[in-house]
Amino acid sequence: MIPEWQIALGILLAYFAFCLGKGFFCYFRYRPVTLDEYFLAGRGLSWLFLVLTYVATLQSAFAFLGATGMYYTHGIGFMVLPLSQAWCALMTLFLGYRLWLLSRKYRYLTPGDFFDHRYRSRVLRLIVALTLFIFNMFYFAVQFVGISWAFVGVTGGHITYQQALLLTVLITGIYTIIGGMRAVVLTDVFQALVLLTTLPGAVIYAVSALGGIPHIFKLAAEKAPALLCRPGPKGAYTDVGWIYMWLVLPFGIWCTPALWVRFYTAKDKRGIAACAIGMPLSQIIIFCTSALFAGIAAAVLYPGLKRPDYALMQLLTATMPLWLIAVIMSGCLAAGMSTIDSMLLVSSQMVVKDIVIEGLRTRISEKAAVRLSMLISAALIAMAYLIALSPPKLIVEVVIKLTFVGTAQVAPALILGLYWRRVTKWGAITGLLTGLIVLVSFRIMKVAPLGIPDFIWAFALNWLVTILVSYATKVTNENVEEVVEYLRRATDA
């Protein structure tokens, strides 16, 4: 009889083979020779493909492991995340639609293209590109750590962490590099369906086997009532903490470059509308129900886990055979890989377009640029492998935890640039730099003046400085007409 871990390994390898097949299919079918084709799938994604790749990119391995761990540790207060993020849908309708209109007219390829065009400032382009690249790069590298450990767990430790890491890096790297955005989208479509079905299915199965949802909640009310209200067992969601979570995080999630460039790929505005609905819907399926039930059930039945991220695995291990866990965890791998491939591609996109072509003013043909992009992607994935092999402690503690609040720092320059004629490039540059410096320095020094967290200081000062410096400086050659006025006409039509 074949051991269960080998069946589990076979299922995961079959999944990897499928992903690779998609990559090779896209390479031979489309032969990407232009940057539009390689990075934006020819700007022709239908609404269904767009919403699925958007959801797959949004939901990382955190949806499986981290979210369950958060409910396990902090209880239902973690509902602040899906509640606050629901309003990203409005940002999609207002900001995403405008970026899509501009990208169709002016052929934007990266987030930096907007800033360079709107403010006529290559310096701002570079600052934005470097900001997004640094936060993006370490975040996606560390994603490998989570999915590699999940791989190790599913195979019962017969595959080492190093082997699992090498395998996931190779597979993700190969299909992303050779197939570009089309391969990423095709695998994302499949991965979105896998992740949106496996987690709810697994949780329903596991929680039913453990007595059902009402039973779990009754136990929680008896044993750990703090899990069922704010601020939670560790006091994480105090009144002030709850409000802070609403103010900055949605901007950081929405401005993530891998999600941002998804709007450039839309064929028509139905794609934008689908993303606006798909984001909260996926949050309901994963964060409001599945992860919540799994986290509370694990907290009640298996308290005191050393690593809360393993709460889901603990729950599954107690209720189902290893081969079935492998099927479920392929959903976790799907969630992680679909985020990593998009982040890898957009990182390469920013290096090639914002730094090599525009920053260093390198003149190369489109075909050469695509080849260069492939080489840079290969270099980035190698770098990610080295980071994941031995994650630097300081980077993990500072950069990773700042990923979304750091990314949110580009929001003032984006929003004001889209709507306000008076904002100047000096306002945008000084505001962004102020936000970044305050955020990183306060985090390193571990200070929170007046008891207000660093990210609130950074975000508020960013807005304030952008507006004040804009009033203090004159609009010179900023592209008010081509952006603000064009959008006013286009959206009033």
Rg (alpha carbons) of the chain, rounded to whole number? 22
Q: Does 242 bind other proteins (CB under 8 A)?
A: yes
Which positions from 330 through 389 interact with other proteins, judged by CB under 8 A?
none
57 is written with which tokens? 């990119």
- Our CB check for other proteins shows the closer of 209 and 284 to be 284
Q: In whole angstroms, how close is the CB of 389 to other proteins at the nearest point?
A: 39
What is the DSSP secondary-structure string of 249-308? Answer: HHHHHHT-HHHHGGGGGBSSHHHHHHHHHHHHHHHIIIIIIIHHHHHHHHHHHSTT-S-G
Whether the upstream peptide bond of residue 111 has omega within 30° of 0, thus cis, is no
Give the total of residues touching other proteins (CB under 8 A): 40
Query: How far is Cα 30 from Cα 17, in angstroms, rounded to an integer?
Result: 20
CA-nearest of 188, 183, 186, 181 to 36 is 181
Q: Tell me, what amino acid is at 309?
A: D
Choose, by CB under 8 A, the member of 21, 231, 233, 391 that binds other proteins: 231
User: Which residue has 């936000």 as its token pair?
Assistant: 435
Binding mask 135-164 for other proteins (x = CB under 8 A): ------------------------------
- Our CB check for other proteins shows the closer of 84 and 131 to be 84
Choose, by CB under 8 A, the member of 65, 76, 102, 124 that binds other proteins: 76
How many CB atoms are closer than 10 A to CB 284?
12
Residues 6+ apart with CB under 8 A from 148: 161, 164, 165, 168, 388
Choose, by CB under 8 A, the member of 5, 24, 25, 87 that binds other proteins: 87
Choose, by CB under 8 A, the member of 22, 43, 74, 230 that binds other proteins: 230
Binding mask 454-493 for other proteins (x = CB under 8 A): -------------------------------------xx-
232 is written with which tokens? 């939670």
Binding mask 265-304 for other proteins (x = CB under 8 A): ----xx--x--xx--xx-xx---x----------------
CA-nearest of 406, 474, 413 to 441 is 406
Choose, by CB under 8 A, the member of 8, 89, 194, 418 that binds other proteins: 89
Q: In whole angstroms, how close is the CB of 95 to other proteins at the nearest point?
A: 11
Q: Tell me, what amino acid is at 292?
A: L
Strand partners, 45: 266
CB contact at 8 A, 424 and 405: no
DSSP secondary structure code for residue 232 in this structure: T
Sole window of 129-137, 235-243, 360-368, 453-461 interacting with other proteins (rule: CB under 8 A): 235-243
- Our CB check for other proteins shows the closer of 85 and 136 to be 85
3-class DSSP state of 266: strand
Choose, by CB under 8 A, the member of 221, 368, 444, 472 that binds other proteins: 221
Choose, by CB under 8 A, the member of 13, 14, 48, 90 that binds other proteins: 90
CB contact at 8 A, 99 and 487: no
Sole window of 121-129, 214-222, 259-267, 390-398 interacting with other proteins (rule: CB under 8 A): 214-222
Residues 6+ apart with CB under 8 A from 332: 61, 64, 65, 147, 150, 195, 198
Sole window of 21-29, 78-86, 172-180, 420-428 interacting with other proteins (rule: CB under 8 A): 78-86
Choose, by CB under 8 A, the member of 7, 167, 228, 461 that binds other proteins: 228
Query: How far is Cα 408 from Cα 128, in angstroms, rounded to an integer?
Result: 11
- Residues engaged in binding other proteins (CB under 8 A): 76, 79, 82-84, 86-87, 89-90, 93-94, 213-215, 217-218, 221, 225, 228-231, 237-239, 242-243, 246, 269-270, 273, 276-277, 280-281, 283-284, 288, 491-492
